[in-house]
Amino acid sequence: MKRYIATFFRGRWLYLAVLALMLAATIAGTYYLSQSQYEATARVWVDKPALQSILDSSPTYALAQPPAQQQAAKLYQLLQTDSFVGGIIRKSPASAPLTGSPDQDREIIDRVRAKILVSVIGNNTLMISSSGSDPALCQQLVQGTIEQYITWDLEAQVEQNAIETQFYQRQLKIYEDQMVDYAKRIEALERDNPRPESGSPQFLELQQLQRAQASTRESYTATKTKIDQAGLVETLSEKSRRTEFQILDKPTVPELPSSGLMKLIKYLGLGVVASCGLFLTAIVLATWQDTTVRTGDDLRRLGDVPVLEVIPTLPKEGKGRRGKGQGGDATPATPTSPPARPLTRRATATD
């Protein structure tokens, strides 16, 4: 950590200047986005499909997910497919650049897909929104998403109904054959034993066949009822089938930019986080690429040779004690020599 802090202080003015530029760009970008982005929304009421309400009367449906979550999950998965998004685009002016080639159109499809958002705001309420710089296109994308989903949902119900009808018809044929078989066996047994005794094998077999015939007849009646109910889908009009997907608030062309407080905070927060992340990344990279030996710890990382002594950083001239010529009272230190020993002359006898 000390190395990173030292790297920052060595080039602090450069780092702070770059950070200030990035923050200024974040503020400018947030202002631009808040003034140039429009959003069109639609609120839709969804309910359990009418056909499912008729065919599925079991109480386990109450334990399933709310209709809004179910429909939102289906719509989200459909938006991940190119065919569904392509159908939305073909109903809007954005279809002009389409070429019909999946590889060439994928960029346009991905760009439109990123503009459509589906969210759940209640057990039975969905919100479909689209944002961008073109307000008319936003409204058309939301409207196209609703229409495309309704069309797909109706086709899926009809196809599912056809599959279920085929299955029930096969089951009905099996029950019919079983009922005919039971009737023949009962008739033969009664002909051979007009009055079987109670508790005899013939009497027990007759009762077993009669119970099996009654159970098969109940299954036959229930299956025939399901076929009749499933046939109602063909007679339901498109208007009545739309009741499970009702538009509460139609999408309109936005007149003002969608500069809400939460969006401003979101854009600004993302910009600040990105700027701080780049700022810290630059310091880390500069620290890793710095091979200059500055401290004893740097020497220890280079080899196993122990550090005997470290020369401390000396203050620069002019930042320490000031001389007399600079207005200070201190005088420069001069080396002193030991005091000279006095010269003595030894007396001699001749003196």
Q: Are residues 126 and 243 in the same domain?
A: yes
CB 28 within 8 A of CB 288: no
Note whether residue 340 is domain-resident.
Answer: no
29 and 45 part of one domain? no
Domain shared by 242 and 129, yes or no: yes
Q: Is residue 178 part of a domain?
A: yes
73: left (phi over 0), alpha (psi -120 to 50) or beta: alpha
Cite the DSSP H helix spans in the chain: 2-10, 12-36, 50-55, 67-79, 82-89, 102-115, 135-192, 201-230, 232-235, 238-241, 261-289, 296-302
The whole domain housing 6 covers: 1-37+259-305
Please report, rounded to a whole number, the percentage of residues in the chain having pLDDT higher than 70. 69
**Predicted local distance difference test score (pLDDT) of residue 313:** 66
Residue 167 tokens read as: 């299955």
Asked if residue 342 belongs to a domain, the reply is no
pLDDT for the residue 345? 41
Do 244 and 264 share a domain, yes or no?
Answer: no
Same domain as 189, residue 64: yes
Same domain, 7 and 59: no
Residues 166 and 229 in one domain: yes
CA distance 124 to 48: 9
User: Domain check: are 209 and 285 in the same one?
Assistant: no
Q: Look at residue 29 and give its three-state secondary structure.
A: helix
- Looking at the DSSP bridge assignments, the partners of residue 43 are 127, 249
Assign 127 to helix, strand or coil.
strand
- Residue-wise pLDDT for 101-153, tens only, equals 767 778 888 888 888 999 998 888 999 999 888 888 889 999 999 988 888 88
Q: What is the pLDDT of residue 120?
A: 92
Number of domains in the chain: 2
**Same structural domain, 60 and 27:** no
Residue 347 is assigned to a structural domain of this protein: no
**CATH number of the domain within which 96 lies:** 3.30.1890
CB 135 within 8 A of CB 255: yes
Does residue 24 sit within a domain? yes
Contact 8, 283 (CB under 8 A): yes
Q: Is residue 275 part of a domain?
A: yes
- Check residue 337 and give its pLDDT: 47
**What's the predicted TM-score (pTM) here?**
0.54
Does 192 reside within a domain? yes
pLDDT at 278: 86
Q: CB under 8 Å to 292, separation ≥6 — which residues?
A: 298
Decide if 232 is inside a domain: yes
Helix (H, G, I), strand (E, B) or coil at 269: helix
Which stretches in the chain have pLDDT values below 70? 33-36, 48-64, 96-100, 102, 231-243, 258-263, 293-296, 298-299, 301-305, 307-351
